[in-house]
Amino acid sequence: MTCEVVLARRPQGALQASDLRLQAQSLPACGEGEIRLAIRYLSIDPFTRIFLDEQALGGAMQGLPLGSVLPGAAVGEVVESRADGFSPGDMVEGRFGWREAIVTGTDGVRRLDPALGSPRAALGILGLPGTTAYTGMITVAGIQAGETAIISSAAGAVGLTAGQIAKIRGARAVGIAGGPEKCAMVLDHGFDACVDYKAPGFEQALVDACPGGAQVYFDNVGGQVAMAAYAALGRGGRVALCGLLSLYQGEGGEAGDLGRFMRLIMSRGLRIQAYGTVQICPPEALPDLSRWLKDGAIHIPETVVDGLAAAPQAFADMLTGSAQGKLILKLP
């Protein structure tokens, strides 16, 4: 048997823990070419929220059917293998979903190399958060020494990594975060400045933090924060769009936003590129990230929650901004 977290009902606005429920599920026998895993660590990520609406992102994609296991990356230990190249005791990473155990084929399953880092790092710096930051900051935005990069949601795993990569490349890193505590944490991780989007005068403070205009905006959130960042970019600024956190909870923009958005793009000649990390992540990303992790050039704080039963509330709390760094669920 295994325990799973499934979608019990569609969230009405902000996610409630009661929108999710735990259920027991029997495991099939391990067949030829399959492995049986005990999940050790589960990644809880903001973008999982978009799959919970019936029409995700306003109809851009189909939502998760009711009763389905929530999707997500996880690290598991192989406890039984009938697949070549996998042995009991191997640690692997894949999109196994929110569950305690699974029997699965090996397509899309990555056997973890202990020389690169700890298994838990495969959900952080050496996983999707790290490769998303690397791809956006280096491949998409092409950050250069001497430039200034603005990073939204800078207290999260992706944003913190993106800012530290900007510093490694010789650029200034200006973070955006919510509240003095998060801004202080961002500064502790080497950013040159961090602006509180909840504070009065946020837009002007962001402009003042980027004298002459920033060259790059790493966009995690969209919405009003993005509007302020566009206004702080210089002409020809580059935007790497990796997330729309402000829209994940069904929040809409105000009337006239689209017009202002288009005027900012036109007046500054901005280049905006949305991207999918899986499609364009360069092969050198993981070796570079591993080296920077070992050298201490990149560090992400972790918020670790114990037990699958805690996952629904931890997810709901994260979407209101309670977590810092990477949120990981630890299983026995």
CA distance 50 to 52: 6
Q: Are residues 104 and 189 in the same domain?
A: no
**Contact status, residue 41 vs residue 123, Cβ threshold 8 Å:** yes
Asked, for residue 290, whether it belongs to a domain, the answer is no
Q: Are residues 186 and 168 in the same domain?
A: yes
Q: Are residues 97 and 9 in the same domain?
A: yes
Asked, for residue 296, whether it belongs to a domain, the answer is no
Asked, for residue 285, whether it belongs to a domain, the answer is no
Q: Are residues 272 and 135 in the same domain?
A: yes
Asked, for residue 100, whether it belongs to a domain, the answer is yes
Instruction: Return per-residue pLDDT of the chain as tens, 332 residues.
Output: 899 999 999 998 889 999 999 999 999 999 999 999 999 999 999 889 988 988 766 566 778 999 999 999 999 999 999 999 999 999 999 999 999 999 999 999 999 999 888 999 999 999 999 999 999 999 999 999 999 999 999 999 999 999 999 999 999 999 999 999 999 999 999 999 999 999 999 999 999 999 999 999 999 888 889 999 999 999 999 999 988 777 666 554 444 566 677 778 888 888 999 888 878 899 999 999 999 999 999 999 999 999 999 999 999 999 887 778 899 999 98
Q: Are residues 116 and 140 in the same domain?
A: no
Q: Are residues 139 and 30 in the same domain?
A: no
Q: Are residues 268 and 224 in the same domain?
A: yes
**Contact status, residue 101 vs residue 77, Cβ threshold 8 Å:** no
Q: Are residues 120 and 135 in the same domain?
A: no
CATH number at residue 212: 3.40.50.720
Biggest alpha carbon–alpha carbon distance for the chain: 63
Asked, for residue 181, whether it belongs to a domain, the answer is yes
CA distance 203 to 238: 19
* pTM of this structure: 0.89
CATH number at residue 24: 3.90.180.10
Q: Are residues 132 and 113 in the same domain?
A: no
Phi-psi region of 298 (alpha: psi -120 to 50; beta: other; left: phi over 0): beta
Q: Where are the beta strands (DSSP E) in 260-322?
A: 271-274, 302-306
Helices (H) and strands (E) in the chain, counts: 10, 17
Q: Are residues 119 and 133 in the same domain?
A: no
Token duo for residue 106: 């090996």
Report the number of distinct structural domains present in the chain: 2
Q: Are residues 120 and 238 in the same domain?
A: no
Domain region containing 241: 128-278
